[in-house]
Structure 1
Amino acid sequence: MNAEQNKPLRIAVLSFAHTHAISYCEALSGRADIELVVADPDGAAAPDDAPRGAELAASLGVDYVDSYADALAWGPDAVIVTAENARHRELVELAAEAGAHVLCEKPLATTLEDARAMLAATERAGVALMTAYPVRFAPAFADLVRRVRDGALGTILAVRGTNNGKLPSDRAWFTDPELAGGGALVDHVVHCADLIDELLGARAETVYAVANRTIHAGAAVETGGLVTAKYPGGVIASIDCTWSMPESGPAWGGLTLQVIGTRGSITIDPFAQHVAGIASDGAVWASTGDNLDAAMLDEFLDAVRSGRAPRPDGAVGLRTLEVVDAARRSVASGEAVRLG
């Protein structure tokens, strides 16, 4: 390995808006092969309950710069975009212009037009675009994919996904229709859509969805939803994306995937491994499973170092956004929507 390959990678995290930015900083901070900076210029003005900006960076022990321009002028090899959904396009395009590879938080964008523009910008610049789907890296999912492809379940008939969680109350933008692009349909459908597409090796043909605000009735976006998608061969997949975990719950929520075939069924629950109990300061719920964010970051960093395309890439982010877009149109029309 030459001296250039031994140099630490420069990584800039753009925004603390998404709470996953904290996990990414914790995974990268202190690594000898990484130099890390964060910029969160919108944090000070955000109406959030939890810390943002320089205060949060200091608590995490990471270097902070005041603007996205400063972060990009630093010359990062790659950036991680964890801003509000509606701001993804601008930051990805700026990063591409600066020649930085990009890991972008899900959903890739709030509109298909923005997502396509992001793919085009990174392709023109010759930089990688990866979509942040950490559950792809769960050992349970890898084992499920292997069993399905080996024929252990026979012909697949149906898939049932759930991605339920708390209303993200400490980040106000999650319930802002403009910044988020929607509510539970936008926030939680894409994870399961990614897993189902990868599992079946196919894209959804039609999407039907219903949504409501029965839970958290005062929210400006949908807080509950159920999406049903039909895949080639007649496979029916459903995704429950409701923000149904109460605020008093000890954990943020969870994700499950059940696959039903002619020879049996398998259910995975990648976040189930934990210790739980009651302590003097309240309920205890601590994950003891694999750090999926760290595994996803390892894939991204290896792709940046080697010059190969990361997986899942930006095209996957666009494809899963197409499912969300169809779901939103289905809710509005009351009818199933055929994907192009």
Structure 2
Amino acid sequence: MKSRRDFLLKLGGSALTLPIVSALTPAEAATPPADKQLRVALVGLGSYADRVATAMKDCKLAKLVGGVTGTPEKIDKWSGKFGLDKANFYDYKDFEKIKENPNIDAVYITLPNSMHHEYTLRAAKMGKHVICEKPMSVSVKEAQEMIAACKKANVKLYIGYRLHFEPYTRELIRMRESGELGKIMHVNTYDGFKSGDPKQWRLKKALAGGGALMDVGIYCINGARYATGEEPIWVSAEEAKTDPVKFKEVDETVTWQMGFPSGAIASCATTYNFNNFERLYVIGEKGFVELGPAFGYGPIKGRTHKGEMSWDTSKMHQTWQMDGMADCILNGKPEPNISGEEGLKDMKVIEAIYKSIAAGGKKIMV
């Protein structure tokens, strides 16, 4: 592959075992100690990378220092916009030169899903810590190889689960872990939006690996897992497609159920077909938590059986995320289920859901 840009242009022309660690309270996640900084280069300077870079302006422990792009003109734009040294920018073909740069400690891979595997393996060989955007890969096999490569290189592999540092989500987890909700009986979770440009990479299976399920349905899977504190043992799923032309290669709308060892059931759905579809509702024997919006960039809102939730929403989620991840790497803070192993668990569920769809909704063991 010459570059991400070349690949995109070419393709465009063609048709958790839990419990979650509770050491981080919302307040601690929002204000980590500022003693050292993790120096990060973003791999793939698209729209999400821009969001991460903007959020990192307010970070205390993480610092953006460079990037990797197949579009040379972006170097001038990014170095000017974010005050970065041009010496810390690279092309995909000379990606390995980052190994020689002592000013880069970690890379954050924000490329299309199918490229996560390759660049994680390449980064690990360079001895750099890896943050990989979700989903971590397009298959269980790739996820396992990514974990093995980072372990062999003795570098950290974190998945971009920004919500694991977000205050409303942290409070939901705290309430569940503390027993305030009692035994979890049921979870209802859904996330989706109306997809726009039919030529975008997210609708190309070779780049995305799947459709709505891979993109935002993963929030529903991950959310149900941290809401129950358990791993699903079976799934049953169906797909609906209203536009077989636009969504020829990937899934449009998926509904599924997940069963957990305690007997709790999660009813979930994801879509690329309509907006205003975002909720996480957790019902326990003693109480409930409802987040809505629950998974987007914010502000997240919520209520419980005790009343309305109120947490700090002044920061971008990625600010909490990057400072939190830096705190884990630099200061040994316990990881709130953001590791490659966490990403692998979600990939196992995703594969089981696709198998169930292919089998006509048959129950598949995870």
Which bracket does the TM-score occupy, shorter chain normalised? 0.7 to 0.9
User: Residue 232 of structure 1 aligns to a residue in which SS?
Assistant: coil
Displacement, 1:195? 2.4
The two structures have a TM-score, normalised by structure 1, of 0.81
State the one-letter code of the partner of 1:69: E
Change (3 A) 1:262 1:310: closer
1:296 matched to 2:321 = yes
**Residue 162 of structure 2 contacts residue 318 of structure 2 at CA under 8 Å; is this kept in 1?**
yes
Displacement, 1:22? 1.4
Q: Structure 2 matches for 1:189-228, cutoff 5 A?
A: 189-214=217-242, 217-219=245-247, 220-228=249-257
Could you say which residue in structure 1 is the equivalent of 2:285? 262
Change (3 A) 1:289 1:216: farther
Change (3 A) 1:264 1:307: closer
2: CA distance, partners of 1:298 / 1:6: 12
Displacement, 1:101? 0.7
User: Residue 241 of structure 1 aligns to a residue in which SS?
Assistant: strand
5+ residue gaps, structure 2: 1-33, 301-311
Once the two structures are superposed, residues 151-204 of structure 1 have per-residue CA deviations (whole angstroms, 9 ceiling, x without a partner) of 333321110111112426398211111111110111112222222222322110
Identity of aligned residues (%): 26
Could you say which residue in structure 2 is the equivalent of 1:180? 208
Once the two structures are superposed, residues 218-257 of structure 1 have per-residue CA deviations (whole angstroms, 9 ceiling, x without a partner) of 22311111121101111111221112345xxxxxx66421
2: CA distance, partners of 1:309 / 1:146: 15
Could you say which residue in structure 2 is the equivalent of 1:164? 192
1:337 matched to 2:356 = no
**Residue 13 of structure 1 contacts residue 21 of structure 1 at CA under 8 Å; is this kept in 2?**
yes
User: Residue 146 of structure 1 aligns to a residue in which SS?
Assistant: helix
State the one-letter code of the partner of 1:108: M
**Residue 116 of structure 1 contacts residue 318 of structure 1 at CA under 8 Å; is this kept in 2?**
yes
Displacement, 1:7? 6.9
Once the two structures are superposed, residues 27-62 of structure 1 have per-residue CA deviations (whole angstroms, 9 ceiling, x without a partner) of 225868625111122x58xxxxxxx94476357434
Displacement, 1:144? 1.7
State the one-letter code of the partner of 2:250: V
Displacement, 1:126? 0.7
Change (3 A) 1:227 1:73: farther
User: Residue 233 of structure 1 aligns to a residue in which SS?
Assistant: coil
**Residue 153 of structure 1 contacts residue 261 of structure 1 at CA under 8 Å; is this kept in 2?**
yes
Change (3 A) 1:31 1:318: closer
Change (3 A) 1:288 1:154: closer
State the one-letter code of the partner of 2:288: S
User: Residue 262 of structure 2 aligns to a residue in which SS?
Assistant: helix
Once the two structures are superposed, residues 270-323 of structure 1 have per-residue CA deviations (whole angstroms, 9 ceiling, x without a partner) of 45649xxxxxxxxxxxx9654211111111111222256643111000001111
**Residue 213 of structure 1 contacts residue 222 of structure 1 at CA under 8 Å; is this kept in 2?**
yes
Could you say which residue in structure 2 is the equivalent of 1:238? 267
State the one-letter code of the partner of 2:254: G
1: CA distance, partners of 2:146 / 2:58: 31
2: CA distance, partners of 1:244 / 1:106: 21
Could you say which residue in structure 1 is the equivalent of 2:141? 113
State the one-letter code of the partner of 2:286: R
Q: Structure 2 matches for 1:15-94, cutoff 5 A?
A: 15-17=44-46, 19-29=47-57, 34-41=63-70, 53-54=74-75, 57=78, 60-61=81-82, 62=84, 63=86, 64-67=89-92, 68-75=95-102, 76-94=104-122
Could you say which residue in structure 2 is the equivalent of 1:139? 167
Could you say which residue in structure 2 is the equivalent of 1:96? 124
**Residue 188 of structure 1 contacts residue 241 of structure 1 at CA under 8 Å; is this kept in 2?**
yes
Displacement, 1:109? 0.3
State the one-letter code of the partner of 2:142: D
Displacement, 1:329? 0.8
User: Residue 237 of structure 1 aligns to a residue in which SS?
Assistant: strand
| RMSD over aligned Cα atoms | 2.9
2: CA distance, partners of 1:300 / 1:114: 23
**Residue 112 of structure 2 contacts residue 201 of structure 2 at CA under 8 Å; is this kept in 1?**
yes
Change (3 A) 1:179 1:295: same
State the one-letter code of the partner of 2:289: I
**Residue 161 of structure 1 contacts residue 239 of structure 1 at CA under 8 Å; is this kept in 2?**
yes
Higher relative contact order (CA 8 A, sep 6+): 2
**Residue 78 of structure 1 contacts residue 304 of structure 1 at CA under 8 Å; is this kept in 2?**
no
1: CA distance, partners of 2:141 / 2:97: 28
Change (3 A) 1:79 1:197: same
2: CA distance, partners of 1:188 / 1:15: 20
State the one-letter code of the partner of 1:322: K
The two structures have a TM-score, normalised by structure 2, of 0.75
5+ residue gaps, structure 1: 45-51, 247-252, 275-286
Matched positions, count: 308
